[in-house]
Structure formats: C-alpha cells, structure tokens
Chains A and B, each alone.
Chain A
Amino acid sequence: MGSPANHDNVASLATDFYSLLESFKETPFYHLLFEIFLVLTVLWLILFRKPRRIEKKLTEKEKQELIDEWQPEPLVPPVDANHPALNVRVLDGIVGKTIEIDGKKSLNFATFNFLNFVGNPRITDKAIQAVQKYGVGSCGPRGFYGTIDIHLELEERLAHFFNCEEGIIYSYGFSTVASIIPAYSKRNDILFVDEGVHYAIQKGVEASRSTVKWFRHNDISDLERLLVEQDIHDKKNPKKARTLRRFLIIEGLYMNYGDLCPLPRMVELKYQYKYRIFMDESVSFGTIGQTGRGVTEYYNIDRRKIDLISSSLEYSVGSIGGFAVGSSFVVDHQRLSAQGYCFSASLPPLLAAAAIEALNIMEEEDTTLCDTLMEKSKRLHQKLLDIKGYLIVGEDISPLKHLRLTNSQNTVARLEEIVEFAQTRGITITVARYLNDEHRLPEPSIRLILNVEMTDEELEFLCTVLQEARVKVTV
C-alpha cells in the first residue's frame, strides 16, 4: 500500500483515511450503532464495573440456628473477693482532723479536708437553717423550678471571690469538668491536654470526641513542639484552620502529682498560638495563693487571661458539687449546653448554704487560713525531705503530697503495709487509688493531705511514724 516516495506515503495514507470515512457513510446505520455500543460496553467493563458482592442470604432455619447457638458472656466477669474496694474501712463519725476507727482516734492525713471545714460549727448551723427553710432536695433541674435563690447567691459569691463576671454551679464535682469540656469542644476541635490530668478531665476529653494531643506532664517544650506542629499543619490549610477551635486543658495544682502548672509561660503561648485555656483548680482553690484564689493569684496573672476556671466544692470548701467561673461570654453558654447542668437535678440547698458560709470564712478580713496552710506545707515538705528512703513528689507549698518509696521497692503492697502500720500508731493515711484505665497510670504512692489545723508536734509525729514504718517494711 505504501509507495516509496514520502509525500506519496502521506498522500496514500490520506486517501486510505478518506476511503475509510466514505465507507462509514455507506454502512447501514444500525451496524454503526451496534459497533459503537460494543466499544462502549468493552470500555465500561474494563473501567467502571465493580465486582458484585455476594449477598449473604440466610434461610429462616439458619437464622434460628444462629440465634439458638449464640451465647453471651456473663454480665460481669468474676470478681476478686479480696479487692480493696470490697474490704473498705467502715467509719461511723465525723471525718475531720481526727477520725475514730475501731474505737481508736487517729490523726487524719488522708481526706481532702484542707481548711478543716468538716464539722465546722458555723457551717453546720447554716446548713441546718437551710434544711429548715428549703428541705433537703431541690426536686428538679435548674430549668424547671430547681433554681433556688441560694444557688444564685452562691454563683454571685463565687464570681465575686474570683473577681470574674459570672459563675455557674454543678451538683457533682466529677460532672463539672466532665460536662464543661464537651460543651465547648466538639468533633474536629483540638485539645492540648497535660498527661497528668485527673480522671474527670480525661472523661470530659473523651466525651467531647475532639482531636486530643497529649503532652508530657508539665513539659512546656513538649507542648511547644505540638503547637509548632499544629501551626505548620494550619498553614497548609488556612481556611480549615479558621474553623478549628483550640483549647489547653490543664490543672492549677495537679491532684496526681502535687505540682503547679507553669502558667505564665502557658499564657504567653496562648497569645502566640491562639488557643483558649481551661484550667481546673479543684485542688488549688482555697489552698494556693495568699487568699486561696488559686494559681492565678500565686503567679500574679490577670484572671481574665484564663478563659475558664473550673473547680470543686468538695475539697477545701467541705461541701459537695462543683463550679466554674469566667467571663459571661464563656460561662453563659454552659447554661444550655452543659449536660451535667441542664439534665441533672440542682445542688441541694443545704450544701449551697454550707459553701456560702465557707466562702464567708475564707473572705474574712483577718483570716490567714491559706497563708498558714502554705507555710505549714513548706515546713512539712522540709521535714519529709529529711526522712531517708522516701521520694516526695509535689511542690513545697502544696498541701497535697505524694510519697513513694525509693527505687524498685515502690509497690502498692509495701505502701499498704506502711498505711496499716501507721494506723496502729494513730496516723491515718491512704494509698492513692486509681482505676486501671487512666490515660497514664501514676506510680503507686501514698497521698498525704495536710489539714491547716495540724500543729507542728503532730507533723513531727507523722514524720516519726513514717520513718518507723519504712524501716519496718523494707527490712
């Protein structure tokens, strides 16, 4: 078909092509259509057809067999009867500075009674008056006649105490922070959380379904690393970054470690990387700072820079419940979005009355409660450092300290022996208890809690007993 000369080649190619086209014109129409259809079918088969899933069609008989065969696990796994939770000490009396266990009185270094408000006569009187006026329960959630004037008073007092715009109270300490975090942080938002936060915060973070970035406990450089990573990520997609909220979740004084968070640096980073700070001051409220106003007072930081401070009425204040304070912009949102607030009965009025009276005592002109507590904590810290064989974890001004045995001797069993021995000598202490599914289970330790009314002699006695206990246990 091709002739030797080049342009003849092209010419013949053109002719051939032309005759091809002509032949198309001559073929019957249906033939053309059929050919095109076949070509398209082949293309479809190659490119687009997905393999057909084989449908599982079971017969009724097979379904019934599956149902009959299925055996569920027992509702609960077998339980160890020797678990400490099933063999707790049962008390019968006020758990104040001293406790009576099995008829013997002992000094109490185990309960969160920092300011010794348990059994305080002023608080007791006010609580009794509240029962005589309001009864015991509040009988409804805040939205449906469960808001009693005493709740509004307590919220105002708390806001005033912290010099914030608004306060909000909850009926249970655990639910406070566990409801607050999901109210603001939703799916896809970013939470930078310290690994050492306590369990309630971990549950709040879990409930929010947000992206969580854990940073090593109190390690600012680790936090900065995460922030820089996030920043790089944001620059790749700035439009999306404009819609992602960021929060830093920390505690003022960590319950599991007894140390303070490096707040000044975190506030600096806040304005650099644009995140909001939610700080939980359950333990530091009433214990840190000259007047007990927490870590912000201790570091002398303007409280308006912290977006939300949540805390608990169950530790220093000696009542039950929790609260949050902050600007109206932030706090008001919880009144419709925090589950633990909207869907739960409100705090019983007698507990709110007790909290108000506790605040009255803390705000008195000449009170030196918190100052004294910090001083005594420092003294205790020094004394504990002098005992050989123990590792003291926590700030010196913290009234909550964790005691561990040095090296590999630090086991729960040994610590329990120390606790038992101390009990025989008239000192009540306790091993800190955790559930196994904590994000980062802290090392076993004895949680020592200082009561502001403890005298120096009593602190000396505690150290003596601890020393004897250690000798006895590690022999």
Chain B
Amino acid sequence: MTATKKSEQRSMNPTHTESSREEFEETPTWTAVVTVLGYAILSALGWLRDFLRNVGLEEKKTSHDPNPKDFVPLYQSYECFYTRNLYTRIRDVFNQPIASVAGAKVDVMERVSDDFNWTFKFSGKKIPSINLGSYNYLGFAENSGPCSNQAIKSIEKYGLTTSSTRHELGTQKYMVELETLMAKYLSVEDCIAFGMGFATNALNIPALAGKGDLIISDTLNHTSLILGARLSGAVIRKFNHNDMKDLETELRNAIIHGQPRTCRPWKKILIIVEGVYSMEGSLCKLPEIIALKKKYKAYLYVDEAHSIGAIGSHGRGVVDYWNVSPDDIDIHMGTFTKSFGSAGGYIAGKKSLIDHIRIHTHSGCYCPSMSAPIVYQIISALSIIMGLDGTNDGQKRIKQLARNVRYFRRQLVDMGFIVYGNDNSPVVPVMIFMPAKIAAVNREMLKRGCAVVTVGFPATALTESRVRFCLSAGHTKEMLDDALKAMDEVGHLVSLRYSKRNPPLRWNELNRTDYENEYFSC
C-alpha cells in the first residue's frame, strides 16, 4: 500500500511566481474502516453468489470453454473472482464508448443493460458531455484546424503506412523532420520516435540495461516501465514514491553491497521516474533526483508521458518546470498521445545514446514505421507550441491550461474535497475511497453532463479509489464552472467532502470574485 503520510512540501521554483504545493492528505480512519468493510461485504456476497452458481440455483452468465472438460481450466477460479463479482457490478462505468472527437466536449454513447451489466445494448442515444477523462492537455484533439489539415494532406501524399521497418525502407523524410524538431524542442542532441508509447518503454529499456545492471524505480511507475525493466534482465529495486531519503538509501546500499550473492560491483545503475504520475497527480522532485544521481554516478530516465506539453511555462515538461538543464537527464522519454493529440512515443538525449537505440531497438527491425498523418499531427502541434507557425497560439494554450488547472483545483480544495497531487499538475485526483461510490460518482456526473474517469482497485490501492479529472486547454471557464457545479452536487449527494483541513462548503458559498480575479489575471 502506498504511504498516505501527510506530506506538504513547499518548493520555490524560479519559473513560477507562487510556490507550488504537493499534498496527499491522510485517509480519515473511519473512512478506511468502512471502505475495507465494504470490500469484505462485497467479497462475502461474491462467495455466496459463486456458491449458488456452482450449485445450479443461479444461472452462470460467464462464457464457457469450447474445449472438452478434461482440459486444464484456462483461468483459475480465484483469478476471475474479482471480475465476476465486483467488477461486473460497476462495469458500465468503464470502457464507455464515444462517438465523436475526444475534445473538450464529447458524445458518450448510451448503453443499457437488462442483466446487471453482463451484456450491453446501445440505446442509440448520444450524451453530449464535458470531457474530463481524455488526455487532451493542450486541446489538440480537434477534427478541424491546421493540424488535421496537415494530417489529411499527408495521407494523400504518403498513404497510411510504409509497411516496412526503420532498418529497411521505413524511414521517410517526415520521420527525420519530426525527430529533428523534437530534439530542438527539448534542447537535446537527437531524438528517435516510435509508433506506440507503451512499446517505447517496453522495447527500449532492454536496450539500455541488461544483466549486471540495477534499475531503481519509483513504486508508482507505469506498467510499461515495469515491463521494460523486467524484460531487460536487470535487477529491479523500488523506492517509495517521491521519497528522496529512500532513494538515497537504495543507491548507497547498492553501491556498497554490490550485486546480490556475488557482491560484484554493479555495471551501471539506472533510476527511472516519471514526470507527472497519472494516478497521483504528483510531480517528481527532479532537482533532488539530479543531485543524487550526480553524487552517486547513476543514470536517470525520466518518462514525461503526462508532463511534456502540459507542465512548464513553455510546455517543455518537468525540465522546464524545475528549470534544470536538459543535459542532466540522460534519457528523456515521452509520448505524443497526451499533449499532441496523436499517438506514439519518443526517446531523446545525446546522439551516442540515440544511435545506440536506433541500432538495438526492437521496433527497428520488427515494427513498421509511424504512419504519416500521425507524424504530421505531431509536427504541426509542435510547430504551434514552439511558435514556429508565426502565431502565439501555442503559448495561449499553455497559459490557458495553467489557468484552468489553478482555477479548478483551488475550488475543489476549498469545497472540502481531498485532492491529491501538485497544484500545477493537470491531473486532478479527488478521493472517493469507497467502492460503491466509484460507480455512483461516474453515473451521477454523466447525468449532469460530465464524462469523468473513476478508478479503484487494482489500478490504485485498495482503500484509495478516486475520480481523476484531466483538464485541457480546450476547456472554457463556463465548462469548468459547469463541472464544478456538477461535482458540488454529486459531492453533496454521495458525501465526498472528506477533507479535515478545509471545511465542507457548497459551490455557491465560495467567494466567486476571488477565483475569477485570479483566473482573468493569470
């Protein structure tokens, strides 16, 4: 379980005029008890229902193995217990299909179920909602405008795919253009781009670390980083989330004691962290990590999937936010899915590093190169962000996002909700804790025209279910107000105001002029 220690940190940051705080308020004890009790009751009911199903008193709704009975069962019964008895009850709030562009507003397709979520039918109705769930930080998920025009032109010129790998005939001029532009954006020597963000981690960490190396990774790192680390064959050690003392202890112990059993010195040590953690909303403490890395001669890999474009006064990620030198980070990694409205990932750094990756990456020999419209969407989004198109649209989007984040977060906190994470992170997790509320919040918010993402176990710790808002530069003040009003009502209905630090207030009890002044002055 993650540590829910009360940690308030003030950090003075040269690129921001106000200090930015990162908070993780402690779970109220009574709430934790009731949450665990809730899971216990659900599990007990689940066992009862399973028993009834096995005995034959209740119909088995799961599908059947088409193979003969004497085959070894494909799934162990306990593996699917959670899916059958807990997940299916609230299955309608996950995997909700949409029928429009995933922009600031989205059309959610309405689904109905006659048999308690075992099967769904589409009613045909579309629910227009404010999109608070998609990763669209700078609002580039648009179906018209300069970016999509460029994408359409590129389809006509290049087709959709080269059907060939980078090592063979898959390198087109636009790939070189993208990589050069991205390297310039990040102020590094070179960059290489891949077709899938998840694969960027899973297929390239094995090229960077191997047997005899040590990978020290944050406990809350993304699955792709963990998979890449496992496939590399290196030894993996974890340190508590954003805990610099723990990281230092791990580093010291690693160097002093060497490899397990043989005590040989490690060949190299790689620290893997993320820029913004998508479930917590926290930022990594980059200056301190860099100081540690220099002190102990380790290498640093930063995954900026959620922070590139979304954090920093120029949108250049955590490097920009903390105002550190890009050369201090050995391997910059990020994805194009979130802030650029496209798909794919990149790795950037020194030319020698990128050359090595070009030769040894798994996707070099076995995966076709990126599709032309995908690349052109990124190139045009990047040009806008960097201001190369001659307008200041990029800077406007970045400022709009920062403004939206502060406006939204402050009001949620002042209303009495427990909000995790850094004040500047566009990922805003609000704690719900109890399993039943996961479904309640999602359904009630959808009724009020807001599409939100609620997550529970196993994506988060057992007692730390949350609703996670992803803000966008495409959200106008009216949309945010509507969302806050909806959250206010739902919070009242379902009683989500858990915070002990701020008194529970209704939305209309807040001092509106104060927030509006701040919003318009930013």
Contacts and interface: CB of A to CB of B under 8 A. Distances in A.
B229 to A, nearest CB: 12
Interface stretch (B44-52, B62-70, B408-416, B495-503): B62-70
A145 B297 contact: no
Interface stretch (A46-54, A94-102, A212-220, A387-395): A94-102
Interface stretch (B4-12, B309-317, B348-356, B386-394): B348-356
Given A93-B158, A172-B367, A344-B196, 17 more contacts: A86-B359, A88-B167, A89-B169, A90-B173, A111-B162, A118-B162, A124-B160, A128-B155, A136-B147, A136-B341, A144-B133, A147-B97, A152-B97, A171-B196, A173-B368, A207-B231, A276-B71
Contacts of A243: 72, 76
Contact of A344 (B106, B147, B198, B353): B198
Contacts of B517: none
Contact of B148 (A77, A135, A143): A135
Looking at B63, B64, B222, B338, the one whose CB has the most chain A CB atoms below 10 A away is: B63
B99 to A, nearest CB: 5
A70 B365 CA distance: 36
B202 interface: yes
Interface string B354-372: 0111111011111110010
B343 A345 contact: yes
A95 B162 contact: yes
A140 B135 contact: yes
Given A175-B198, A207-B227, A435-B362, A75 B330 contact: yes
Contacts, number: 339
Given A171-B196, A245-B74, A67 B141 contact: no
Interface string A137-155: 1111011111111011000
B42 interface: no
Contact of A88 (B160, B171, B299): B171
A85 interface: yes
B407 interface: no
Interface residues of B, number: 119
Interface stretch (A289-297, A330-338, A465-473): A330-338
B425 interface: no
22 contacts: A70-B297, A72-B298, A86-B358, A86-B359, A95-B169, A134-B100, A136-B148, A140-B134, A148-B99, A172-B196, A175-B196, A203-B362, A243-B72, A243-B76, A319-B160, A320-B195, A329-B62, A330-B74, A336-B87, A351-B160, A430-B168, A435-B362
A94 B172 CA distance: 9
B365 A246 contact: no
Nearest to B171: A88
A172 B167 contact: no
Interface string A230-250: 000000000001111110000
A131 B153 CA distance: 11
Nearest to A209: B230
B143 interface: yes
A418 B160 CA distance: 30
A58 B256 contact: yes
Interface stretch (B237-245, B263-271, B283-291, B430-438): B263-271
B436 to A, nearest CB: 19
A137 B148 CA distance: 10
A350 interface: yes
Contact of B167 (A119, A203, A433): A433
B157 A276 contact: no
Given A134-B143, A145-B96, A243-B72, A329 B66 contact: yes
B337 interface: yes
A425 interface: no
Contacts of B359: 79, 83, 85-86
B163 A119 contact: no
B157 A94 contact: yes
B404 interface: no
B81 interface: no
B101 to A, nearest CB: 4
Interface string B365-404: 1111001011001000000000000000000000000000
Nearest to B351: A79
A204 B227 CA distance: 11
Given A88-B167, A144-B453, A327-B63, A172 B136 contact: no
B325 interface: no
A214 to B, nearest CB: 18
B159 interface: yes
Interface string B167-188: 1110111001000000000000
Contact of A92 (B161, B173, B373): B173
Contact of A76 (B65, B208, B231, B335): B208
Given A147-B96, A336-B83, A90 B362 contact: no
A171 B98 CA distance: 17
B265 A136 contact: no
B445 to A, nearest CB: 13
Interface in A255-300: 271, 274, 276
B340 interface: yes
Contact of B163 (A113, A241, A332): A113
A174 B363 contact: yes
A111 B163 contact: yes
Contact of A73 (B76, B256, B267, B368): B267
Interface of A: 58, 63, 66-67, 70-73, 75-79, 81, 83-86, 88-96, 99, 108, 110-113, 118-119, 123-124, 127-128, 131-140, 142-149, 151-152, 165, 171-175, 178, 184, 198-200, 203, 206-207, 241-246, 271, 274, 276, 304, 307, 314-315, 318-320, 327-330, 332-333, 335-336, 339-340, 343-345, 347-348, 350-351, 354, 428, 430, 433-435
Closest 10 CB pairs of A and B: A344-B198, A172-B196, A76-B356, A111-B164, A136-B377, A72-B268, A139-B134, A139-B102, A329-B63, A135-B101
Which of A58, A76, A108, A198 has the largest count of B CB atoms less than 10 A from its CB? A76
Contacts of A95: 159, 162-164, 169, 172
Contacts of B162: 91, 95, 111, 118
Contacts of B36: none
Contact of B166 (A88, A173, A203, A340): A88
Given A135-B341, A435-B362, A143 B94 contact: yes
A243 to B, nearest CB: 7
A320 B371 contact: yes
A71 B338 CA distance: 38
B18 to A, nearest CB: 30
B341 A137 contact: yes
Contacts of B140: 137
Given A90-B173, A93-B158, A199-B362, A246 B72 contact: yes
Nearest to B144: A132
A75 B299 contact: yes
A159 to B, nearest CB: 14
B253 to A, nearest CB: 10
Contacts of A327: 63, 66
